[in-house]
Structure 1
């Protein structure tokens, strides 16, 4: 059955900050352009999860009156704390000792899903067409072009049963053809991975490195709440060889976002990022915040942390990578929304210039040039050594090195060397018989919880009768390699209980509970043999985050 086609000047994959910024800027520059956004979530913001404290610099440039239009969209940061934890105590870091890049004055606490929903309204008011619930499943290439230029994308087929056969409600996907296609899928985008392979975009880059962020939102007692307060912590419960850290952000309405990020180059296969967050909440410094509180939301998402050395080539014939698909997070600052939005703005400018010159489906080299000349590039280059320093020197040594280099940068001094980090995150696990297993306490159901209890707060839903979007390249690897050598790390690194070892007819097998999937992409990143391949499920499947 042939697929229907729709044609636009520009199609954007993903309604996150970069995709929405690009759409808005395109229409600001040329209102006559036809612009379409495909979003795999059931609504804009449904799959968006971040801390988040944002630098408003890009939002100010794109929509200067955003605070007047949406005064409740963001909460100004009112106080800022950073502390180091051991098992019993917390040691605050004086603000005067923190490099200026790590201060949050002038920044705002937001629920990023709500920001994206509001940006979508602005885009639609300008004439952008947004299609939630339609997952871009395939990149379309011009077979008659020797360079194989991207000519658009196709949405996934709907109504396919688990056995791979069409159901009664089967519908073919639609081909969205465009003069330029902008990819803004977020960290570890499946189509971005296909593009990187086809056009060899990573040949001059270090591997991308990731963290997994696990987040909860709590309704806390009024006496525990300080609107606009921002807290970050390092140290316990992680050891010195495992880097990561926690955040606590005080939102309006006596709500608090608490989260933990574990960098996915960790070595101990018994580690569970979800359970590290649960342990963090039990620290004497932290647990009082949750006295009499109620947990109201939960979610998780991978974060692209590699930074400057891990940036791929961002352009190819017919399109570009933007935002976290490109990897534009400022890792030590824990901020990427402003850079993502800037990338969308620059991509839009490059597209409008190309179309005005009568070009289409060629390489937008001016996009790369704009980024390279922008504050985004300078910002990422100035912190380029922080992530690899943590990998090389551990949490303590890496943090001390990072502080040294960031203080030099404050005075305009740039170190002449660039550290590299060439081991991908999936290759860092040690065999289970060489490490000490981590024994996590049983959840109490009041302060700490299980993964399955948490899923109800993420509002996860997938069409049950469909092929699994979590595909195994080799059915034997989960037992022969993952279980026998690494004690089944997927059963712990997944924050949704998707993977579990079960015994069937006297044999151990990996059971995949794909219906639990939060779309965090950790399995696609951390699986030791890269045997798990994440593809998009039927459109609108996944979490339905609210207030995240």
Structure 2
């Protein structure tokens, strides 16, 4: 199937690119064929974010977004920044600009993305949910010419089943990659074209979130609470949030930097413990947990941003890493970069070009408000690598006192997977057992994420060398994949001869990509499963 533009990923970046291409074509009185591939069972199924949205980009995409019914219903009415110790909370008297949300909205990003999908289809965009782009296709000269979807109906033995359907080739003059953080194909493109040469190593975090229905007495629509400190120690990057949406719902979550050092740390258990803090737990009294999810976050910022273009295409949104970690916001950046890449695509197609580099895209980014915003926050993650209090102090100086006009730039040099210390150098962490009311285990959490994979398919969590987990991860790091995975995918089991074996429960995977990032030997490789599998988030 041939198109002018193929877009991989039906999130905010991919859909905004598709929409803006059609808008540009309509304004010029011409036609452009656009296809969006989405590996989730439906648009929005794999989209997870906090989320507080800055409407600056959606306003550019749809100036009449309110009249069109965009699901931005809850304006922020109050900001709080709490510094937590184990038993107390201290309200910061100064809230840096990056934590001020006047004019922003508390949203469900999965619902916003579903709405964007409706707008895209109304404009004539072809959307194919349930089809995972599994392979990049190249011209003889080495330019990207499209993608191929994975075969469906292949058994665990790699042989076709009676339900076999071969994958499709989708060819395009330009292909945009919008897979989100640690995109499977984006990672390959960065390596093939050496797009990250000269950049700081990309940095990631894992965000774990629950959606609760709370007692109306505990609900304050529009309230945004961000926290720093406990349960993280002062050397571990992380922070929590409570966002009060409409309909007596509260989103609660914890973000943990994947550059943490102690292999015994479990982000999932830290999040469950987080909810028990005296300043937070009353929010959930008489409440009910509705949904659960987890997703990696690209947090390196401007200094870790790879080159975004290559012959035949571009990286947009979190596939490149445009999230502003200081603001804990990426959806506005995803929409903006989708629009910038779409504009560059449209101009190239109008002049008859194909398969070249869309230089107009990074040029436009460097002149945009998004570049100015990310430049202001360029040192955020680097300061927090020096500890909580140094990070808070310097963020306050740079963001509040100097308003982002600081003349210095700080660089990072170590990738997240290289930050783990040997287990022998660290203390185990004893986490309390879940009570089933406020705190929960992994499997009951995965259940309410609506995660499902066709059981008889090849595992999409692969090992470069099957000997490495026991020989390195278990022997040196006490098997950290058992703890950093938020879905219970990895466990070490004893065989009859007494040897250990890593068991991979791939059907539990929520596609967060944490294992692909944090595995100390970079031995675990996440590949695309059969399309339509994974979580199905609603209201997240």
User: What is the Cα deviation at residue 321 of structure 1?
Assistant: 0.3
Deviation string 1:301-344 (CA, Å, 9 cap, x unpaired) is: 00000001100000000000000011001111111111111101
Pick from 430, 437, 444: which aligns with 1:453?
Answer: 444
User: What is the Cα deviation at residue 62 of structure 1?
Assistant: 0.5
Corresponding residue number in structure 1 for 2:18: 23
User: What is the Cα deviation at residue 243 of structure 1?
Assistant: 1.1
Corresponding residue number in structure 2 for 1:48: 47
SS in 2 for 1:463: coil
Corresponding residue number in structure 2 for 1:93: 92
Corresponding residue number in structure 1 for 2:3: 8
SS in 2 for 1:452: helix
Unpaired stretches in structure 1, ≥5 consecutive residues? 1-5
Contact 2:234 2:388 in 1 (8 A): yes
Contact 1:471 1:533 in 2 (8 A): yes
Corresponding residue number in structure 1 for 2:200: 206
Corresponding residue number in structure 1 for 2:119: 122
Pick from 256, 261, 267: which aligns with 1:262?
Answer: 256
Pick from 340, 347, 350: which aligns with 1:346?
Answer: 340
Q: Say if 2:299 is the partner of 1:305.
A: yes
- 1:52-451 map, 5 Å: 52-70=51-69, 72-94=71-93, 97-143=94-140, 145=141, 148-391=142-385, 393-410=386-403, 413-415=405-407, 417-451=408-442
User: What is the Cα deviation at residue 409 of structure 1?
Assistant: 3.9
For the structure 1 residues 407 and 72, does the alpha-carbon distance in structure 2 shift closer, same or farther, using more than 3 Å as the test? closer
- In structure 1, C-alpha distance between the alignment counterparts of 2:434 and 2:392, rounded to whole Å: 31
Contact 2:72 2:105 in 1 (8 A): no
TM-score, normalized by length of structure 2? 0.98
Pick from 491, 497, 501: which aligns with 1:509?
Answer: 501
Pick from 437, 450, 462: which aligns with 2:453?
Answer: 462
User: What is the Cα deviation at residue 453 of structure 1?
Assistant: 1.1
Contact 2:489 2:506 in 1 (8 A): yes
Corresponding residue number in structure 2 for 1:522: 514
Contact 1:73 1:114 in 2 (8 A): no
- In structure 1, C-alpha distance between the alignment counterparts of 2:73 and 2:206, rounded to whole Å: 24
User: What is the Cα deviation at residue 407 of structure 1?
Assistant: 2.4
Deviates most, 23-32 or 33-42: 23-32
Corresponding residue number in structure 2 for 1:3: none
TM-score, normalized by length of structure 1? 0.97
Deviation string 1:452-510 (CA, Å, 9 cap, x unpaired) is: 11111100000100110000001111001100110000000000000000011221100
Unpaired stretches in structure 2, ≥5 consecutive residues? none
- In structure 1, C-alpha distance between the alignment counterparts of 2:235 and 2:351, rounded to whole Å: 53
Q: Say if 2:36 is the partner of 1:37.
A: yes
Contact 1:408 1:414 in 2 (8 A): no
User: What is the Cα deviation at residue 74 of structure 1?
Assistant: 2.9
- In structure 2, C-alpha distance between the alignment counterparts of 1:409 and 1:354, rounded to whole Å: 40
| CA root-mean-square deviation | 0.9
User: What is the Cα deviation at residue 71 of structure 1?
Assistant: 5.9
User: What is the Cα deviation at residue 92 of structure 1?
Assistant: 0.3
User: What is the Cα deviation at residue 396 of structure 1?
Assistant: 1.3
